Amino acid sequence: MSDDDSKRIQSIHHDLHSDLPAEPALRVKALESLLIEKGMLDPKTVDAWIEVYTEEIGPKRGAVVVAKAWLDPEFRKRLLADGTAAITELGFEGWATAHFKVVENTSVIHNLIVCTLCSCYPHSVLGIPPNWYKTAAYRSHAVRDPRGVLAEFGETLPDDVEVRVWDSTAELRYMVLPERPAGTEAWNEERLAGLVTRNAMIGTHRALGTESTRHG
């Protein structure tokens, strides 16, 4: 074999492996393939659950909770006092929200959610957590330098805005109630929910505008 052939083969090998997904994804795919092969898992079931969590459970449910709180002062009070009971009113109780607390952004307070131990997340109202939420970099940086994290997401807060970091655990999950954007006084619940981004409910997105998209 000539040197040119050897280099070409090495190049092909490198290109093939550079396109492979990360190791955790490979493990999941291998396990899924094995379970399907043994008849223990229906791939249609997997696809259905992914669709439910992506399109129905979250973060659309969280957006509905936020919109209702903006429109209904009494619901907002109940939500801030007992998040679990309030979302139960809407039929949104479920996985990882048995102890659920909602923290409210104001003109002088901004809240940021993190889980420093792993990736605890209120799945039944926000769905599947984004990949960055689970990384060690976000988990450590959010605690040490929350303003720096916000800047990475394009949010630069004035010095007079206090940043509060809330650390989720297996026993207690958090969600941010963003401020309602100005100019939406006549909007209905569905239209308001369309403004609410997933990142706003985590706290990495603050300034919701009338042109925002739901998932952020």
Which of 119, 124, 168, 212 is labelled catalytic?
Answer: 119
What is the per-residue DSSP string for 107-150? SSEEEEEE-SSS----HHHH-SPPGGGGSHHHHHHHHH-HHHHH
Structure tokens at 167: 């650390």
| CA 52, 53, 55, 59 torsion-angle sign | positive
Residue 152: which H helix or E strand, with range?
helix 146-152
Task: Confirm whether 212 is a catalytic residue.
Answer: no
The position carrying tokens 């809240």 is 111
Q: How far apart are the first and last CA of the chain?
A: 53
Task: Confirm whether 140 is a catalytic residue.
Answer: no
Residues 94 and 176: their CA atoms lie apart, in Å, by: 18
Which of 6, 11, 33, 118 is labelled catalytic?
Answer: 118
Which of 115, 124, 140, 168 is labelled catalytic?
Answer: 115
Which of 120, 140, 168, 212 is labelled catalytic?
Answer: 120
Residue 174: which H helix or E strand, with range?
strand 173-177
Which residues are known to be catalytic? 115, 118-120
